[in-house]
Every structure is written in C-alpha cells, then in structure tokens.
Structure 1
Amino acid sequence: MKKISVIIIGAGNRGNRYSNLMAEYPENYEIVGMADPEEARRKHFETKFSIPKERCYPGWKEILAEPKMADLAVISTVDNMHYEPALLAIERGYDLLLEKPVAPTAKECADIAAAARKKGTKVLVGHVLRYAPFFWHVKEIVMSGAIGEVVSVDQVEGIGNVHFSHSYVRGNWHSEAESAPMLLAKSSHDLDMIQWIVDKPCKKITSFGSLTHFTEKNAPEGSPIRCCDGNCPVGDTCPYNCIKHYVDFKENPRRRIITRGFTDAYQNPTDEDVMNALRNTDYGLCVYHANNDVADHQVVNMEFEGGVTATLNVNAFNRGGRYIRIYGTKGELYAHAAATEIQVFNFESGKTYSVPVVRTDESINGGHGGGDQGLVEELHQYLSGSYNGYRAADIDVSVRNHFLAFAAEESRKNGVIVDMDTYYSKFGF
C-alpha cells in the first residue's frame, strides 16, 4: 500500500501522540513537515522525525501558504484554532486527521463538513474511543444481537476530581469562550459512542448541569488566591493543593504541561521551574479562586428514532473512569471501560456471562485505552481506499454527533427540549 506523507499542524500533546504512533509504522507514514509556534517543539520534530529545518514552520498560516507538500494534514492545534487551518488545508487539497472537537461552534463544524463535501476531501475526526478494544467489543456484542434490540443506554464519564481541576479549572479548557463547552471538549467522545451504539438518529435532547463547586463561594475562609502564597488554613488536607500535585509529586507528567514557556518542553522541569509556573500561571491558583466558568457536572438525556433512550452523566466528582450499561430486549450489558471483561446478562437463561476484552500493551498503557493506536492503524486504510471496517466515520457523521453536544448546551442554558431534526436542518444536515 502507498506510504502516506504527513504534515503536523500543532505539536502539543495530541500532535506529538499521533506523530509518535505514525513513526511506529514507517511503511505507512512519513512526516515531512510541521508547524508550531514554540521553537523547542520545532527543534524536537526536526531532530526526531528528520524533518528539514525549512519545513518546520512557526504557524499554520506559514505551512499552508506553501505548495501542497503532503497527502495528509493533522490538525492538532488548540480547540478554538481548528476552524481556519482546517478550511485552508481542505482548500489546498489535503486530507485531514482533525482532532476533536471539530470546532467550538456548530456553524464552524458545519462549514468544515460542507467544505470537505464540496472538495471531496477525506476528513477523519479524532474520535479515538471507536478504535479502543473495549468499545469495539461493546459494539460487536450489540451488533451480534446478544442483548436483542437496544432499548436504552446509560453512560457515565467520570472525569476525575484531580483531572478536572487541572484541565477544566486551572487549565486550557477552563473557559468556554477560550476553548469550548466542557461537554464538547471532554465528552464529544461519549456522545459519539452512544450514537454509534444506538445507530439510529437522535430525535430529541435535553440537558441539565452547571458549575456548582469550583466557585468563589466555596473558598475556605482565609484561603489565598494561590496555593503557593502559603498560610492556607486547609492546605494540608485540600485535595487540590497544587504544591502537592505539581511539586511534591515528582512523577506527575503534568509538570511538563504547566511549565511550558518556563523551560524546554522536552526536558524534565526542576522544582524551581514548577514553582515559577505556579506563581505566574493559572495552574497555581486555588481552585476556588480561579477564572473558570465551565460546568463541573452535566447530564444529557436523548431520545432516538423508535423510542430508544440514552443518558450521559459527566462530572468531576469521582476518581475517574467510564462506565456503560446497555439495556436490550434480550439482555443487559454492563462494564467499566478499564475492565478486562464485559458482563452480559441473558434473560432466557437468567445467567450472567463474561466476554473478555482482548487488550494489547498499548490498550493497557497507551492513550485512550488503545484508541489512539487503533485510529492510526485504520487511518491508513481509510485514506488508501481499502477500508472495509465499521469504526471510521466520515466528517458528516462526526459533525452530526458534535451537534448533540451543541444542542445539549442549548437545552442546558435555555431550559428547553431541543428537536434534533429542526436543529440539524439549521445547518444543512
């Protein structure tokens, strides 16, 4: 099969992840260019992937101003910087691997889908859970008819209290205006999974939720603005004390994230680097004195064609993890996404049996339970025209599933039931 040439636009966490995985398949991929505003990242890519210096650009505008140099562009910039580079890359004739969310607004998502449709561009969205062994085992059990027709689905995404405080209180996704609503940023995966499992059009959606805990009113009396200011009356027992998480916990991989701009991103930061970051960035703020505005808990209720129902519960108040329970006419399926087995209860026999989840080392230790690697493996087939699987979805499917998040936000903010046929039609779907 043809080797696919690739440019990476945005060399942060996701850009690095996709690049490293593609490098494991040298017969399938060759990274020939990249763009990122950070010099350390450009130097890293130049060295690691043997990219000529002149093809390491400071931004997406610069690399896309050049004549087309590759088959595929990976768009892995921050959430609110997907729209323009995606449209320009499509115009230039690139196929895309577009990190989720597609874009932070419904109109922008629709624009990207329309541009791809018009140009005949293949755009695969980074809905990596489709490629994780756990979830495709779930999908295959449902497809086999083992639990009959799907009647209802309950899915829980436990973000984890510490993860939430890092990413959605102090971190890049703390502000809807600067990134996207929490539901879209974190749980477009889960909405995509529910739609994939039900495999019927969503007809109605409602949602409830808000920011209730990580607010000024819940700040302990006498607590400082920054944990590193000292003299916090609850510092020793607070589960969100940033000194504990970033300074005392030396193995915390997030130390590199918070010290961006204070040290080389590809070196292990010192405690001094970390303290400098905590004194000068939002990562050092008390979680009750931060600038966050995204919901810390949210439920979404969906009705699909034929009366199938589903719920998604996303919240910060747990240790973290995904759980799913599917109710069918012949049985019930339930499991934790990190489990080695899926439990199936059969109505006829009245017994529960286990279906083992076949995992690789990557699915145990890698990103998204092996979904990152699975996507990279199937992406080559998808782009080469030899794809006969059921996991990859074209851009129209991905955007329709993104619309579930946008409609849920409309419901949550306005207290209304959203008719999805009407919602889709507003954007030409």
Structure 2
Amino acid sequence: MSKFVKRALKRVSWKPSGMPEYPLSAAPEFPAEPEVNGVNTRSATGTPVSSIAFETERPEAPETNATPITLVILGCGQRGKAFADYARAHPKQCEVVAIAEPRPQTRADFASRHGVADKYAFASHVELLALSDIMVQDGKPRLAQAVVICVQDKMHAELTIEFARRGFHILCEKPLGVDVRECVRVTEEIEKSGVIYALGHNFPYSPYAASITELIHSGQLGRLLHIAHLEPIGYYHFAHSYVRGNWQSEKTSAPIILTKSSHDLDIFNRWLWPLVPTKVSSFGGLGHFRKDRKPAEARMAGVTRCLECPANVEQRCEYSAKKIYLAPVQGGSSGWPGNLIVDGRPTVEKMTQALQETSYGLCVYESANNVPDHQTVSIQYSAPFEETTAELPEDAQRDSLPPVNPTISFTMAAHTDSICMRKTSLYFEHGEVIGNMSTYTVSDFRDAGRGARRVIPPHPMGGGHAGGDWALTDAWLRAIVEHEGGKIVQALGVGASIRDQLRVFMTGFAIEEARKELKVVDCQEFERRMLNTYQNQAPVARVEIEYEPERPSTSA
C-alpha cells in the first residue's frame, strides 16, 4: 500500500468501529442524498449510499532524470497524439524529438505542435532508424532513448523487435502481436534486449481501476471470488472500428477479444494476481452486420455505399456514414472519428472523397468484416502452473491463501448506447464492489446497517481513457528512470512484465480457440502447445508501413 494511501487512511472518518480500514484515500463522509449530480445514490437493494470523495492531493513527485527522456513517436494518429501530449504537458520529464508518419499533412501538423524539426519528421520508421544507426556508428547517442509505437496492429511485432535490438525503451499500443507466433517472438526479443517495455494497457493505471486494484489486494473484504464484467462497445464505435475499420477481420489483425478486450483480460489478471487463468470457454459470433440483415429497401436499390443510399433508407439507418462522418464535419467538428479517416483537418470535401473511396463509406451490411459483435467468456483461475503441485509451507495460514478457483463472467456487446463504459461487479467473501468506470460502491456485509459507500476516485492527472493514458506514460517513464539508475523496476506495477503480458494474449488466443471449437480450453495445455510450436522460430516478416489507429481517446 502506498505511503500516500496509508497517510490518508488515518483521516478516513466513515470506518465503523472495529471494522477493516479500506484502502480509500478519502475525505470525510458527507450525508447521502437521493441524487448527487444526477446519479442515483441508492444501492440496488434500496440501501442509502454515502459518497466518498478522494482528495485531490497527489503522492510526492517521483525521482526524475536531470534531463528529459527523449522520445520517438511512430504513428501520429489519435493514439500517438495522446502520448505526445503528455510530453507537451510535462516537458521536464520527456520530450518528443522525432516522429514517423506517412500522411504529409498529419506529419506536418504533429511536428509543428510538438516542436519537432523538419529533419527529424520522417515518412517512415525505416528512414528514422537509418539516421539513428548512422549517429551510433559515428560515436553519438542514438536518436532517442525511447519509442512510442502507435501504428497498425500488424506492424507492432516487427517494429518492437527492430527498436528493442537497438536499445530503445518501448511503449507499444496493444496488441502485443496479431498471432501467437508474433507474441512469442516479441517476448523473446524484449527479454534478450533488457529494455523497459510497456504495452498500451492503460485501464489499470486510471485512478478508477487503480483504486479498485488496491482495494482488492488489501484483502479488507476477504478474498475475491467472482467477477461479472460487461464491456459495452457502442453501436457506432463498433461499426467504425470493427465493421468498416482496421479491426474488421482476423485476417488483418488479431481476434476482437484481443484487439478490443485485452484491456479487460489484463485487468482481470492484475486483480486476481498471483493467480492465473486455467480454464476458459466462450460463445459468440457475428449476429447483425451481415448481408442478410441489410434492409430490404437498400437491397432493392442495389447500392453498397451510404452516399448512394435512398434518402428514406439512409435517414433511418443508425449506421449511416453520412451521419457518423459527414454531418459532424458539416457542423464544424474536427474530432473523432472523422479526423482519423482523412489526412489533416477534416473538411467536407475530404470527407466526401473518403466516403466515396474507402471502406468507411461502405454500407455496414456490405463490409468485409467477420469478427463477433457479441461474445461471452467464462474464465477460471487458480495458482500458477508451476505452483499447483507444490506443497504448502507448514506455517501457511488457510485464510491468507487465495481461493483455488475464482471465476469470471465477461460479456462484450456491440449493440449498446454506452461506449466502453464498463460495468463491473466484484464479489468477495465479505462484501461486494459495483462500478461503472466513473465511481463505484463498496458494501461490507459485516456492517450491513451502514449501507454501501459510493467511492469517487481521484481526479485524473490528464489524458484520455479516464486518465489511464497519461498515468501509463508516467509509470513507463518512471520505470525507465529506475532502470537507468540501477534500481529495481517497480513503477509499472504488478502484472506488467512482458511474460505477464504474453499470458494475457495466450489467454485471449485460448478463448478464441474455445469459441471457434465450442470447447473448454485448458490454458496450461494451450500455452505449452503454443510455446512448443512457436519458440525459436523464424523472424517476424516485414509488412507494409501503415499508421492510422482509430480508437476514441475517451474510452479504452
């Protein structure tokens, strides 16, 4: 438990006499009201819910380098901007010194915003690495200390390996790789290189998720037995990214359980650490975004693009590209998602051309998508494989041991109004926690008379994904400082090592095997089978350079 939290616990006023001290850095409790900022403050059972607001005070400033850590940004789309803006806001901690982005206007705008000299604004990472190699050959330091990789999924493995071999510390957007082979190769290379590597799983670093993690590991509600978790993707977000967009098919990316929900698999592992997934099953498929679900009027018209669709059909279609992309630009918007499908600031002319020529203008029922639009997953956890047969020490206390089989029920759904605002229920031996990615309630069954307590996590330090983007960047940079200072690297926290991240993706691929083959998959057997197949295999193939991530910055 952090010194900050321990210090704040002394000021918690709502703790019942003789009951556990919850790890909530809280200001004094104030009386419950029927509504607080429009939020119902009664629990599902009608019990009044008291609100607990975190203090805005932050921990003491971590140790930093005497000079800023220098960064290269690969891919200047939405995700590259999110991480680079951290550097802009924290110039004493890090500095963007070079970029690679093939779109001319996007590259120029990005370089101008972050003060990158023209000679260090490249169209390709190949040119960037060539210059860095020449600098090293001339006895100079490489171009930068670290790289942020925000390119298309199929490029992650190749670029990670290229930069790791040159000693760059790496922050890479998820996924680790698009298949098991790539994930295994990346893991091997990172371990050989010894660089600090962080995957873009920002959810655990948001104040909301971090405070829940601390509550779980405090043990104050007993052992965590079950998690019920829903990820609402959002109907038009799914259409944008997983029907028309870059994650529409496993042929060009990883399964959706990893391209969209690896955040969730990652946080499950951190919440239940040191336990690991041992059995998985899954059901789901593509139920709606198919040709046979195309409205009859549109089929009769014989059109495949929204700009050609009859007005009486298009105006009633919630997936109309004209509504999602063109109308916002006509109204003056320059943000997501339209800014991701054109080069530079969106205009009506640029957007119209994009809808005429790219997949973003296609009817959602005519797209080349094949990933599920609904999926449910069941996961059982137990002790790590290497420990399952070990005898317990004689002095082990039964109550201090984790349960042998906590379980998770996870549902991913496309057809939701809410975009990525996950809903989570955590069931402990002595209580429950119910959250919505904004606040959560804590109920302690041993003190039922006092009702649930609504917890308002600390205000984020900034950035998207509820503060997760910037908090992850901060942790990664602090880990680099720890590493280069010869200290034990702790800043990234539990579950962030490259082997931990490989396990997240092994679990995801096991889930996909379970879904496709309608069976329960043994995770230990799956991992052994995959490692026996892919360890020490041929290098990851080079791919054509593309940079265009397209996730909204406000959700994970």
Q: 2:524 aligns with which of 411, 417, 421?
A: 421
* 1:6-45 correspondence to structure 2 within 5 Å: 6-45=71-110
Paired residue for 1:106? 180
Paired residue for 1:370? 467
Q: CA deviation at 1:192?
A: 0.5
* 1:252-263 correspondence to structure 2 within 5 Å: 253-254=335-336, 256-257=338-339, 259-260=341-342
Q: CA deviation at 1:333?
A: 0.9
Paired residue for 2:321? 242
Paired residue for 1:314? 412
Q: Is the 8 A contact 2:222 2:429 kept in 1?
A: yes
Instruction: Give CA-to-partner distance per residue, 1:25-66, whole Å, 9 cap, x none.
Output: 111101111112122233223322222222222212222233
CA distance in 1, matches of 2:129, 2:198: 19
CA distance in 2, matches of 1:9, 1:270: 25
Matching of residue 302 in structure 1 with residue 387 in structure 2: no
Q: 2:424 aligns with which of 308, 324, 334?
A: 324
Instruction: Give CA-to-partner distance per residue, 1:358-393, whole Å, 9 cap, x none.
Output: 342656xx4111101111222221111165453671
Q: CA deviation at 1:271?
A: 2.2
Paired AA for residue 278 in structure 1: L
Paired residue for 2:441? 343
Paired AA for residue 311 in structure 1: S
SS of 1:319's partner is coil
* 1:138-217 correspondence to structure 2 within 5 Å: 138-199=212-273, 200-217=275-292
Paired residue for 2:295? 220
CA distance in 1, matches of 2:292, 2:103: 38
CA distance in 2, matches of 1:347, 1:118: 49
CA distance in 1, matches of 2:193, 2:143: 18
Q: In 2 relative to 1, CA 388–258 (structure 1 residues): closer, same or farther, beyond 3 Å?
A: closer
SS of 2:435's partner is strand
Q: In 2 relative to 1, CA 153–232 (structure 1 residues): closer, same or farther, beyond 3 Å?
A: same
Instruction: Give CA-to-partner distance per residue, 1:266-289, whole Å, 9 cap, x none.
Output: x2x222322221111111111112
Paired residue for 1:393? 496
SS of 1:97's partner is strand
CA distance in 2, matches of 1:391, 1:21: 23
Matching of residue 278 in structure 1 with residue 355 in structure 2: yes
Q: Which of the pair is proportionally richer in helix?
A: 1
CA distance in 2, matches of 1:254, 1:374: 22
Paired AA for residue 202 in structure 1: P
Q: Is the 8 A contact 1:22 1:376 kept in 2?
A: no
Q: Is the 8 A contact 2:69 2:93 kept in 1?
A: yes
CA distance in 2, matches of 1:77, 1:316: 24
Instruction: Give CA-to-partner distance per residue, 1:170-219, whole Å, 9 cap, x none.
Output: 11211221222111111000110111111111111111111111100100
Q: CA deviation at 1:252?
A: 6.6
Instruction: Give CA-to-partner distance per residue, 1:8-37, whole Å, 9 cap, x none.
Output: 112221111111112211111011111121
- Structure 1 range deviating more: 234-243 or 396-405: 234-243
SS of 1:222's partner is helix
SS of 1:344's partner is strand
Q: Return 5+ residue gaps in structure 2 as ranges.
A: 1-63, 134-141, 383-403, 536-556
Q: Is the 8 A contact 2:248 2:371 kept in 1?
A: yes
Paired AA for residue 338 in structure 2: R
SS of 2:297's partner is coil
Paired residue for 2:204? 130
CA distance in 1, matches of 2:459, 2:340: 31
Matching of residue 229 in structure 1 with residue 308 in structure 2: yes
SS of 1:405's partner is helix
Structure-2-length-normalised TM-score? 0.72
Q: In 2 relative to 1, CA 226–9 (structure 1 residues): closer, same or farther, beyond 3 Å?
A: same
Q: Is the 8 A contact 1:331 1:345 kept in 2?
A: yes
CA distance in 2, matches of 1:75, 1:393: 17
- Structure 1 range deviating more: 114-123 or 55-64: 55-64
Identical aligned pairs, as a percentage?
30
Instruction: Give CA-to-partner distance per residue, 1:128-176, whole Å, 9 cap, x none.
Output: 0011111111111112223210111111100011111111111121122
CA distance in 2, matches of 1:258, 1:402: 27
CA RMSD of aligned residues (A): 1.9
Q: 1:288 aligns with which of 347, 353, 365?
A: 365
Q: 2:150 aligns with which of 64, 67, 76?
A: 76
Q: Is the 8 A contact 1:245 1:252 kept in 2?
A: no
Q: CA deviation at 1:104?
A: 0.7
Q: Return 5+ residue gaps in structure 1 as ranges.
A: none
CA distance in 2, matches of 1:124, 1:361: 20
CA distance in 1, matches of 2:202, 2:338: 24
Paired AA for residue 427 in structure 1: L
CA distance in 1, matches of 2:467, 2:157: 27
Paired residue for 2:455? 356
Q: Is the 8 A contact 1:61 1:85 kept in 2?
A: no
Q: CA deviation at 1:115?
A: 0.8
SS of 1:37's partner is coil
